[in-house]
Amino acid sequence: MTAETPTRPRNTQPAAWRHSDILDLDDFDVDEIETVLSLADRMREVLDRRIARVPALRGYTVVNLFYEPSTRTRASFELAGKVLGADVITITTATSSVVKGESLIDTVRTMRAMRADAIVMRHSMAGAAYLAAEHTDAAIINAGDGSHAHPTQALLDLYTIRKHVGDLRGKRVVMVGDIAHSRVARSDMWGLTALGAEVVVCGPPTLLPRGLRPGDRPAHTESALPPVIIETEIDRAIEGADIVMALRLQSERQQGGLLPSLHEYSQFYQVTAERLKRAKPNHLLMHPGPKNEGVEIAATVASGSASIIEEQVTNGVAVRMALLYLLSGRTELSGEEAR
Amino acid sequence: MATLAIHNGRVIDPALGRDGIADVVIVDGRISRVGPNEGDMVVEAERIDATGLVVTPGFIDLHTHLREPGFEGKETIRTGTLAAARGGYTTVCAMANTRPAMDSRAAIESVLREAERSGLIRVLPIGCITRGREGKELAPAGELAGAGVVALSDDGDAVADPSLMRHALEYATRWGLPVAQHCEDPALVRDGQMHEGWVATRLGLRGRPASAEETFVARDIALAELAGGHLHICHVSTAGSVALIAAAKARGVHVTAEVTPHHLTLTHEEVAFGGADYRSIRYLANAKVNPPLREETDLTALRAALRSGVIDAVATDHAPHGQGDKEIEFDLAAPGLTMLETSFGLCMKLVHDGDIDLPTLIERMTIGPVRAWGLDIRAGFDGLGTLAPGAPGDVAILDPNADWVVDPASFASKGKNTPLGGRTLRGLVVATVYDGRLVHETGRVVTL
């Protein structure tokens, strides 16, 4: 059974999909994002079945290549592959051993030689997935590269937000925390602004990246970064927010001299119930995980009624199913494949 | 008696203020006569027709990594000097970051011996400031001077300890040696990978702020003032540094400075976009260099400083690396560009853009560096960087308007690490003469 089954219902409008790798959302058009989100809907339906397993990706091999520890992203990709019937293997390795031994390019080529169709890569250094993509024709999915990008997280965030608010145009989405080192924030900025949301990033001045403010760079580079509003005061940022997203704060930031203490950080930047009063009454609360409750987010808020954090996790599997399926060269789940 | 006559070129010799059609006659490796029709007076000579071409003193590079000894996989004295000759260079100052480092007479002598044996052009060694380039104890400057070094430098590892830097500047005055510093505060750049700015933000790479350079430039100027020494600032890259150097020079501090062809012409956008639009990014390790490629406003200031003489010299910082040093994660990739063979073509962009005139550019590539380091006061180098009678018979023959496409695979250098592959440069080195002999020619030279 293949995707080219003659009985497959034909859409008059072929779904938009041009990517052979998923490295970041900066080069995604709106119609491609829509393709992912609508396919994720069908995948979510599959995932919610009592026996969540379909043969759509039978014979397709996915290698999870993780150079950096990860629990949720790794598990999410493993499950996504398995639900669709793909063969999934996971390799976890420390970057240090790779530095001494086999190069990244060698490893990726070896995986391809073993007929890996897709390689899901997590790495502590920005650009690692790009390097891999340049040296193999296996599909590369960037599952986080240093401080740079985490496009599958951004797509699951978009999917989750879309489920609740529908059209994102004009919606105020506020990200609070370590913007400078956050790959989630970077990818979310591209995706959210592409769909027309008003994006506010908020953090202490030491954790805001340079050159993000349009006035800080030459006029001709306007399109080179997503248009966002920058705030250092959390109350002003949250004012009128539809969605508030707290970002994980790494404790290394304190040792790096970027923050006086986690305690001071929580005083000025923790997302609390009190501060959320400034948001719209029906606001939503998100977090890419793993959370440091009591640091960037108050425990009561994380488990409160506005929180859609667990939904993000479930949707992550569906979105990753959609992405693996799209990269396999198909765009619509046929009836047989979904059975 | 070996005679070479170069006929009818536009001879530019900034040291003597010459710019006009003339012949250059070299006898036994020394400039003999320069003037209209001088070549016709010579009865028996090898002859080159330079009609329509520019004839200048051979270029002089204050900052070349020849990699030998220790890193012969990246470059050797043979391949490095061959690359230099192709770039119009007849003298290169070899950087001290070899293995072993250039901190002993034996190390310096080994380089001079190898240059004598396999080098195509003149190699002047640079010694270390500190032993093993470790930034802890002074290297033996007197011994190094005796062995023939022309400057002291720890290259990429700036001398961070201000007290040690002060004493290095003081001590070197006894031998009249410039102390050449890579000005970037290691504590401020930490593990920065490129210029700190919007491109680094887009790429998620840690930045090396311009202020990391400027704080060290300011500090070292103050130390040179205190020590009464000669500070040379390597590869100036920011507008702020230019202002500091201009002010120091104005109040009489003995400070000289160099700038690279790449810092004059390429910006940090090169790392992510390589000349393409902003839609998608790459991580181009061939554009990774320390100090990093900066912003347009820095380029403007650097060009103005080169024109005015605040910056004394163009230096290549030719830094060849193997493919394996660059085709790895960007954070792990070795910094540096191979530059000798593209230097003139890249610098000519300043002339074509109207930022500097050709004689001034030639000045900064010939007599400018010679004067900056006082190279001509050393034995046998009288007239170096000029076409004065008796000067070394070193000449570059140039076509400033010839277009050529950069093909790294065809480089003489072992290092193919350039972001310029496939690009067209306007400005070609047609031939290079060293010691009265042709050491490079493109096939466009007509022998009469």
Between these two residues, B416 and A12, which has the higher pLDDT value? B416
Given CB atoms, is A130 within the 8 Å cutoff of chain B? yes
B387 lies in some domain: no
Residue A96 pLDDT > 70, yes or no?
no
Name the residue among B409, B402, B379 with its Cα closest to residue B392: B379
Given CB atoms, is A146 within the 8 Å cutoff of chain B? yes
In terms of domains, do B317 and B182 share one? yes
B274 lies in some domain: yes
* Per-residue confidence (pLDDT) for residue B202, from 0 to 100: 97
- Which tens digits make up the pLDDT trace of B406-415? 999 999 999 9
**Contact call for B329 and A123, based on CB within 8 A:** yes
Give the amino acid at B361.
L
* Chain A partners within 8 Å of B296 (Cβ): 218
In terms of domains, do B325 and B426 share one? no
What is the enclosing helix (H) or strand (E) of B57? strand B54-57
In terms of domains, do B47 and B180 share one? no
Site from B329, B330, B332 to mutate, A interface, most A CB atoms within 10 angstroms:
B329
Given CB atoms, is A24 within the 8 Å cutoff of chain B? yes
Which of B318, B342, B377 corresponds to the end of one domain?
Answer: B377
Domains belonging to chain A, first-starting first, are 30-150+314-327 (3.40.50.1370), 152-312 (3.40.50.1370)
- Taking CA–CA distances from B273, the nearest residue in chain A reads A224
In terms of domains, do B321 and B220 share one? yes
Mean pLDDT of all residues belonging to chain B: 97
Its domain, for residue B210, covers: 58-377
In terms of domains, do B207 and B304 share one? yes
Between these two residues, A180 and A335, which has the higher pLDDT value? A180
* Per-residue confidence (pLDDT) for residue A333, from 0 to 100: 82
CATH of the domain at B23: 2.30.40.10
Share of chain A above pLDDT 70, in %: 94
- Taking CA–CA distances from A145, the nearest residue in chain B reads B204
**Contact call for B332 and A125, based on CB within 8 A:** yes
Please state the domain count of chain B: 2
Q: Could you tell me if A128 and B203 are in contact, meaning their C-beta atoms sit under 8 angstroms apart?
A: no
* Chain A partners within 8 Å of B200 (Cβ): 209-211
- Taking CA–CA distances from B204, the nearest residue in chain A reads A148
* Chain B partners within 8 Å of A27 (Cβ): 279-280
B9 lies in some domain: yes
* Chain A partners within 8 Å of B199 (Cβ): 211, 224
Annotation says B394 is catalytic? no
In terms of domains, do B287 and B357 share one? yes
Given CB atoms, is A128 within the 8 Å cutoff of chain B? yes
- Taking CA–CA distances from B187, the nearest residue in chain A reads A256
Opening angle at CA B67, ends B62 and B73, nearest 5: 150
In terms of domains, do B70 and B49 share one? no
- H-helix segments, chain A: 30-47, 72-83, 95-100, 104-113, 128-134, 151-165, 183-194, 234-238, 252-255, 262-269, 273-276, 299-302, 309-327
| Chains A, B: CB pairs < 8 Å | 86
Residue A41 pLDDT > 80, yes or no?
yes
Strands B122-125 and B395-405: unpaired
- Which tens digits make up the pLDDT trace of A116-170? 999 999 999 999 999 999 999 999 999 999 999 999 999 999 999 999 999 999 9
In terms of domains, do B49 and B183 share one? no
B181 lies in some domain: yes
Query: Which of B61, B154, B155, B317 is the catalytic position?
Result: B317
Residue A6 pLDDT > 70, yes or no?
no
